[in-house]
A = this chain, B = another copy of it.
């Protein structure tokens, strides 16, 4: 069974407990979105496809006059998640415009390189702060914390996100300073070209 990116995140979210499409979207937005996003435009059609394929099962459970469809994994679906989980080939895609700008800074405007690096660092600092806030809410207890299972592996992912982004912020700060020292010590515009 081939699963799309959105399919895997849906199946994973349903592995914990039955949820609606809306639930899944909220959950993704407060957890995986930093390394695996999903939009309504993908989630709802994918839920239908997965139901047709027999991996999940829909149950109507309206709240008052407000319609609501909750999905849960079938035996087939559980098998599919496990198989996905055990498959080795892994997607790793990155699109980082800050790095691209820095990469081209030398031929566009070398003087602005420190600024570009600092901007990239600030972005990571901001992500780290947002993740830290999520962590604090989890630690404060279930009351206002996110609805997803705060188990060890998912907490590890959160820690990873915080620490990696903090590391990046620090690295960028140091690199920007080195850059400025380097250009201050030499005549303007002189880099070390081969």
Contact = CB atoms under 8 A, between A and B. Distances in A.
A18 interface: no
Given A32-B100, A93-B94, A110-B152, 20 more contacts: A8-B100, A12-B100, A12-B103, A12-B108, A35-B94, A36-B96, A36-B100, A85-B112, A88-B119, A90-B120, A91-B95, A91-B97, A94-B94, A103-B154, A105-B153, A113-B156, A117-B156, A152-B192, A163-B171, A164-B171
Nearest to A163: B171
A5 interface: yes
Contacts of A193: 149-151
Contacts of A151: 106-107, 110, 191, 193
Nearest to A81: B108
